[in-house]
Structure 1
Amino acid sequence: MPYLPASSYDADHKIWIGDQVKHYFDPHLSIGEIIFQEMRRHPQLIAQISATEKTVLTRKELHANSMRVASYFRSEGILQSDIVGIIGRNTTHMLAVAYACFFNGTAFHSLNTAYDRDTIGKIYNITKPRIIFCDGDEFEKVRDATAHLDVKIVTMRNHPSDSIQIDEVLATPIEENFQPAKLEHGNDQTLAILCSSGTTGTPKAVTITNSRQILACNDHLTTADIQYSHNTLDWITGLLTTITSGVFSTTRIIADNVFDPAFALRVIEEYQVTWVIQPPSAMAMMMNCAEFETSDLSSIRCYMFGGSRAAVEVQQAIRSRLRKDCLQFVYGFTELGAMAAINLHFDEKVGSVGRLVSGLRAKIINDEGESLGPDELGEVCIMNNQHWSGYYGNQEESRAIRDPQRWYHSGDLGYMDRDGFLYIVERKKEMLKYQNIMYYPNDIESIISEMPQVAEVCVFGVWSDIYGDEAAAAVVKKLGSELEAQDVVDHVKRRTDSKYKQLNGGAIIVEDLKRSANGKTNRTANKAHFLQVKDRS
């Protein structure tokens, strides 16, 4: 039975409250201790299948590999206060590296492989990892970026001759009577460090607490489930999949290639995947590929998506290919380290990200910081009553997102309806102003998404000295469509009589949208590409 979130409303303080947390494991155990115990319980089950490297690991084999890597760390004198760097794809032994960190209580700091040398250097100069695990493809870049640090580099695949290979680490004998370490600071201790999306400068190093909250909404998983997420360990969804597959003893399907929609559809069908989590961009790409209509997705019983908005048309297309109604819009942010809300009521609450998950509180505030009631628009704030170490080495930014009362200020504009369902309208900083009238890019994106020929769209403001932010759009058309930019402009004009919601800046057709390293649509990059195209025309 899937978890059904509910929330109550404190009208005096204008706060929404999620259900109480149910503990399925001893609350004093760390994530590493839970996974260690659960792997010993089911040694013969298949833990992992690589769809690209064609490897299969039982839980016993993965458990042994994880202990070997952990024993290697201990032999190298790596402490709980140290950091392990990760910048690689989902290769066969990446899970062993993550679990080894969990077993030892040493946080890893994972970066996206798309980061350039300067960004890697700046970020790792903050956390100063003792050892870095990366693909051989990134070895030269990582070595150059960290040359000023005393760091060992281990490669996971495509090994250069002068790197330490993962097989050498896996040759380490398992420490006698190996046991997972007790956390020096209990479950307040940092489990992992990810990066913020980085659309406005160098990404920040976001600490994720060793908390049980990340398991919320997934306690329905069993040993019969087969999980698939293409996201790597630098995504919160990649971390979520890594943890849940270990805790609930599922089979996890991995792949180390660049996301390809046709490949993803084949993986789901071939391995009879039951649990999927994706960003909306992946959903749109799958819907827009030739294989979509003939692929068998009937094995899926839980299909989560989040990270940004998905057009209703994309959601409906995905739902039409599922055997049961299991498409779930989830909302959260990296700093929270978990999901904040989940919508299991698509038809009744179209566009909502759902009700609060257990253990959380929410409020909506105005610009003066005052709490607002139902159906009033303001900034979404979340409280999880847990310790957070903040952005590693950046207390000023940490205080900006989490106030002294421990409310996270999400930067998202939204509202709660009278049934306790949360709606996210837009990023607060992405509001645009045309002739002194405020509007949201999503207002126009929703109109464009109605067009049956449109697969994806990104709207942004192009500055005019006379009018202010003129809306413009980059549009991905569906496969085989003859859609032209003027068709999009004309459709918006027909659908709204608001001058400020017209595509006054124009539109372009693109093969794909520009995205940040974590896969989210990057308005700034799409705007820059739009201006570049317009300058050439």
Structure 2
Amino acid sequence: MPYTPVNSYDGDLKIWSGEPVSHYFDPHLSIGQIIFQEMRRHPQLVAQISASENTVLTRQELHANSMKVASYMRFLGLLQSDVVGLIGRNTTHMPAVAYACFFNGIAFHSLNITYDQSTIEKLFDITKPRLIFCDGDEFEKVRAATASLDVKIITMRNHPKSADSISIDEVLATPIEKNFQPARLELGNDQTLAILCSSGTTGTPKAVTITNSRQILAANHQLTTADIQYSHNTLDWITGLLTTVTSGVFSTTRIIADNAFDPAFALRVIEEYKATWIIQPPSCMAMMVNSPEFETSDLSSLRYFLFGGSRAALEVQQSIRSRLSSDCLQFMYGFTELGALATYNCHFDEKPNSVGRLTNGLKLKIVSEDGQSLGPDEMGEVCIKNNQHWAGYYGNQLETREIRDPQRWYHSGDLGYMDQDGFLYVVERKKDMLKYQNIMYYPNEIESVISEMPDVAEVCVFGVWSNMYGDEAAAAVVKKQGSDLRAQDVVEYVSTRTDSKYKQLNAGAIIVDDLMRSANGKTNRIANKNHYLHVKERS
């Protein structure tokens, strides 16, 4: 079973602390150096299986492919100060590209395939990659977005017939450099490992640097060569990066797939390959629970079921738990800027909806609007410190200073509290606060009520501005398969559960096939609100 974190509390400073970090590897080795040596230790073990492309690679084969891609980068003269761009699915050779970057000490900047040309142009204009690995599906879009850059584009699948495109097969024909060794990092483990993107719910995503640190391994040291990891998330997600790193470090077998997430497919993958470890956003959990195949799927192999990124309805959590052979569903909390898990909850029955206790090496405080530290059961902004170097948002020191203060506390923008037992509860994003007739409330308060309805699969609540009342709550609701749920049913149900005028769905509700999401899969309140207004305008 997973290790349960233990926290201490300093009542004078009002700061919670996780246990000290234990070093399982030489602390001077980079992530790339660790993966390089671990791959050589277990050459015949299966490293990777693509469930969609039907490919299987041993660790020796994946190691060789990674060195070939790294040798290609060295042949082109790429330096550790350069950046490699990624914008692709989990295809057979994408992990080799990531490991090649780790071996060379070159950070990759990974973007989501759903980004439009304008967003790709803005983001890659920040980091100016020398090489970009993308799928042929997005080649034309990427080429147009990077027309002003001096960049080579390598396609990972569906290779276009273009003189500007190089296929990954050509790169893999590169001879491995003689006596190949992973590079020593010029800046040590303060050097940037990868560059991901913030969720972008309030504008163009920011380029978030992830430090080459051990913190990304936190809460996963129990993984062994017997484990089989499965995550559908691509390398632009922190969870996709986490899976790629932990699979290489702990010599697990990793299941990948290059198709869009499909609940029936995911359930089949877990059953067929006997996955022991998965990580998912709540939206995927809800899709699985709502699929016809859920009740007959065998999930008994799972020993670690991690989820996070947003809140999952208790009913969805209970449904998942009912299908597991061990109590292994763990609610996690973290944010991309931290580069790792911050907390995880191994005590569902005692602390439902808590995101758990701090992982090793972290400190946490809850801060009021005026910057004062708060004690247990007092709600304020969640601030976390990991005492590690962070290069910030690439090329954006102004935004960097806003999220991390001079004392190196990350200001998460999340409102929450720590209970008397050191368990964190994240209530809402600060910017999601709504105000009705000068009374403040949070969308989550109404979402929790709607989620109790047996016919509701997912819900997103947002404010619709009224000149008379301020923010009137409205809801976009996904009903369960086969349900006859109507929007008016939702409005009426909420009205029976509260006598507070401001917590009613004063602006109404709509039934939708799926919620609008950001590129990283999180529910996007602004997009759902805009869709709602569009629907109402047409009706």
User: 2-side partners of 1:295 and 1:283: how far apart?
Assistant: 14
Q: Deviations over 1:56-115 (max 9, x none)?
A: 000000000000000000000001000000000000000000000000000000000000
The residue aligned with 2:325 is 323
The residue aligned with 2:471 is 469
SS of 2:159's partner is coil
SS of 1:392's partner is coil
The residue aligned with 1:407 is 409
> 5 Å matches for 1:173-192?
173-192=175-194
The residue aligned with 1:120 is 120
Shift of 1:465: 0.5
User: 2-side partners of 1:301 and 1:3: how far apart?
Assistant: 12
Residue 148 of structure 1 aligns to which amino acid in structure 2?
S
SS of 1:113's partner is coil
SS of 1:109's partner is strand
- 1:103 and 2:103 matched: yes
The residue aligned with 1:57 is 57
User: 1-side partners of 2:89 and 2:149: how far apart?
Assistant: 23
Shift of 1:45: 0.3
Is residue 197–residue 517 contact of structure 1 (8 Å, CA) maintained in 2? yes
The worse-fitting range, judged by mean Cα deviation, of 482-491 and 379-388 is: 482-491
> 5 Å matches for 1:73-112?
73-112=73-112
Shift of 1:397: 0.2
> 5 Å matches for 1:377-416?
377-416=379-418
Q: Could you tell me which of 497, 504, 508 is aligned with 2:506?
A: 504
User: 2-side partners of 1:22 and 1:280: how far apart?
Assistant: 31
Q: Deviations over 1:451-505 (max 9, x none)?
A: 1100000000011110000000000001111111111111101111111000001
Q: Deviations over 1:283-341 (max 9, x none)?
A: 00111111111111110000000000111111001111111100000000000000000
> 5 Å matches for 1:62-461?
62-162=62-162, 163-461=165-463
SS of 1:264's partner is helix
Residue 403 of structure 2 aligns to which amino acid in structure 1?
I
SS of 1:70's partner is helix
User: 1-side partners of 2:431 and 2:323: how far apart?
Assistant: 36
The residue aligned with 2:517 is 515
SS of 1:35's partner is helix
User: 2-side partners of 1:125 and 1:12: how far apart?
Assistant: 47
Is residue 2–residue 346 contact of structure 2 (8 Å, CA) maintained in 1? no
User: 2-side partners of 1:514 and 1:228: how far apart?
Assistant: 25
SS of 2:298's partner is coil
User: 1-side partners of 2:204 and 2:443: how far apart?
Assistant: 24
SS of 1:86's partner is strand
User: 1-side partners of 2:264 and 2:434: how far apart?
Assistant: 37
Q: TM-score, normalised to structure 2's length? A: 0.99
Is residue 415–residue 429 contact of structure 2 (8 Å, CA) maintained in 1? yes
Shift of 1:421: 0.2
Is residue 435–residue 441 contact of structure 2 (8 Å, CA) maintained in 1? yes
Residue 530 of structure 1 aligns to which amino acid in structure 2?
Y
Is residue 82–residue 106 contact of structure 2 (8 Å, CA) maintained in 1? yes
**Across the two proteins, how many residue pairs are aligned to each other?**
537
Q: Could you tell me which of 488, 491, 495 is aligned with 1:489?
A: 491
- 1:43 and 2:28 matched: no
User: 2-side partners of 1:240 and 1:224: how far apart?
Assistant: 18
Shift of 1:200: 1.2
User: 2-side partners of 1:59 and 1:99: how far apart?
Assistant: 12
Residue 357 of structure 2 aligns to which amino acid in structure 1?
R
SS of 1:457's partner is strand
Residue 107 of structure 2 aligns to which amino acid in structure 1?
A
Runs of 4+ with deviation above 3 angstroms: none
Residue 516 of structure 1 aligns to which amino acid in structure 2?
S
Gaps of 5+ in 2: none
Q: TM-score, normalised to structure 1's length? A: 1.00
SS of 2:454's partner is coil
SS of 1:330's partner is strand
SS of 1:19's partner is coil
SS of 1:303's partner is strand
Is residue 3–residue 219 contact of structure 1 (8 Å, CA) maintained in 2? no
Gaps of 5+ in 1: none
The residue aligned with 1:14 is 14
SS of 1:57's partner is strand
Identity among equivalent positions (%) equals 80
Q: Deviations over 1:145-202 (max 9, x none)?
A: 0000000000000001121000000000000000000000000000000000111111
Q: Deviations over 1:7-65 (max 9, x none)?
A: 10000100001000011100100000000000000000000000000000000000000
Residue 28 of structure 2 aligns to which amino acid in structure 1?
H
Is residue 3–residue 218 contact of structure 1 (8 Å, CA) maintained in 2? no
User: 2-side partners of 1:441 and 1:198: how far apart?
Assistant: 19
Shift of 1:4: 1.1
SS of 2:401's partner is helix
User: 2-side partners of 1:323 and 1:2: how far apart?
Assistant: 14
The alignment yields a C-alpha RMSD, in angstroms, of 0.5
